[in-house]
Copies of this chain bind each other. A is one copy, B any other.
């Protein structure tokens, strides 16, 4: 047994350094690294050696038994890295993902400081940056967890403390698993009986329009499905690169996947003046402009909207489908918030259902992938990474290609598949667990509806903030007025004005929201995205704090 430990004393590279990484960047990243390490909870000096591109460095060998004195090795041999910002995949470098971006790193840093006892004008960081319901205190749906636990540890099937309907589902799912174990790989497309349950759910949801289990693919969250379909769709080089139409504002998974795949992002703007409605004329404008420099092939829709919370009307969906049909676009319908509709006058209509109702010319032709997830709705089971996609009118050859591509990753996590099963196959009237299930589900959804209204109302009382109705999903995306002096101050800090605003909000109130620039917005307009997931009483405090901050901000930069 021997023991090593390494202590790196890094000297800051001199300004004249001409290392290939660019030492300015390196210093900045060392700082970010420092933030990251603070977030992750280990003091810096315990770390492995990190080398600067040309900074001198001393390595100290520790001998824990203290038999030998520490030996200093003057390490002239430290070399350039193989993998650097210059040598890495430029498409990955181009990826941005604001939902877990710099503001979240900063939030982690502040949390660390609070834990150390450093005084702040607040006592906790409230992470309203991400739709993570359980992290905000929402309780899991009991029935879902019971079934997952039974499948995990089948000895519990003999326990009297689990209801019979949960056991029935667990037994059925286990029968669909190799060796009756969640530890077996499932089919790459997902466990057969779970795909059947998904298809049955879609048929119920869509009032009898048929769904075929063979068109259902279970996924590792909706993000995985969306990225996979985009990966198959993208092709071409130069002016024939695939164009992908996405809403602005968008959920940044889309822009990230498009960057990664080196496709062309084609923005269409949602109409903020009109409750973030989607206007087909705007789709047409975007398409016509893009035809000059790419091959438009895909149209992505998020309904209910993220970050914008609008719920599309049936008429609007019909228009979009007609447009996709006319312009030969592959439709991606991100419907992960299908259970999250709050506005009285709104209703969720699935693209699949509207497509079928438009007749055979449409439902026999339009290629449509729609996505759902365990992470949102009333269950909020993000950590399970469960989801499904239904793909309609896929060419049989492509179906084979898709299954092949999925098989390389073997299968989606099976416990996430089980969670998905309970989302689509919950207790029904007459079953033992029905009453409790409905009570829990409605409690979550009523609570969200209440908070959606509260948030809209409170934001709209603040001068310089305008918030559209939160018809669905779980976010507010208010427009904020940022005075020109604040815009100048942001420029001086090399920040987008809304990032500057959000950073100040975080530092002064502990509230972590994501700047609108991370989702896209019309030039000159500024927003942030805030989840409505904190418990009502806490949400009220959050909204009060944002109000006070905003008023003070306007005064400070008047």
Q: Which A residues have a C-beta under 8 Å from some C-beta of B?
A: 1-6, 21, 25-26, 29-30, 32-33, 36-37, 39-42, 46-51, 59, 61, 64, 73, 75, 77-79, 81-85, 87-90, 92-93, 95-97, 99-101, 130, 132-138, 140, 145-146, 148-149, 152-153, 155-156, 159, 161, 177-179, 181-189, 192, 195, 207-210, 212-215, 220-221, 223-224, 227, 231-235, 252-253, 256-257, 260-261, 297, 328-330, 356, 360-361, 363-365, 367, 379-385, 392-401, 403-405, 407-416
Report if A367-B75 is in contact (Cβ < 8 Å); known contacts: A185-B382, A213-B40: no
Residues of B within 8 A of A4 (CB): 208-210, 356
A257 to chain B, nearest CB (A): 8
Residues of B within 8 A of A365 (CB): 51, 77-79
Report whether B233 and A47 are in contact in the complex, using a CB–CB cutoff of 8 Å: no
Q: Which of B136, B177, B209, B404 has a CB less than 8 Å from the CB of A97?
A: B404
Q: Which of B29, B40, B97 has a CB less than 8 Å from the CB of A214?
A: B40
Other than the given A26-B397, A95-B404, A136-B179, 4 more pairs (CB < 8 A) read A29-B396, A97-B408, A182-B383, A257-B408
Report whether B100 and A400 are in contact in the complex, using a CB–CB cutoff of 8 Å: no
Q: How far is the CA of A127 from the CA of B453 in the complex (A)?
A: 56
A365 to chain B: closest residue by CB: B79
A229 to chain B: closest residue by CB: B83
Report whether B134 and A179 are in contact in the complex, using a CB–CB cutoff of 8 Å: yes
Residues of B within 8 A of A79 (CB): 328, 365
Report whether A3 and B208 are in contact in the complex, using a CB–CB cutoff of 8 Å: yes
Residues of B within 8 A of A183 (CB): 133-134, 140, 379-384
Report whether A132 and B83 are in contact in the complex, using a CB–CB cutoff of 8 Å: no
Residues of B within 8 A of A356 (CB): 4
Q: How far is the CA of A240 from the CA of B73 in the complex (A)?
A: 36
Residues of B within 8 A of A407 (CB): 97, 99-101
Residues of B within 8 A of A42 (CB): 212-214
Residues of B within 8 A of A214 (CB): 36-37, 40, 42, 47
Report whether A83 and B224 are in contact in the complex, using a CB–CB cutoff of 8 Å: no
Report whether A405 and B92 are in contact in the complex, using a CB–CB cutoff of 8 Å: yes
Report whether B367 and A134 are in contact in the complex, using a CB–CB cutoff of 8 Å: no
Q: How far is the CA of A395 from the CA of B78 in the complex (A)?
A: 12
Report whether B95 and A51 are in contact in the complex, using a CB–CB cutoff of 8 Å: no
User: A25, A83, A367: which has the most chain B beta carbons within 10 Å?
Assistant: A83
Report whether A2 and B398 are in contact in the complex, using a CB–CB cutoff of 8 Å: no
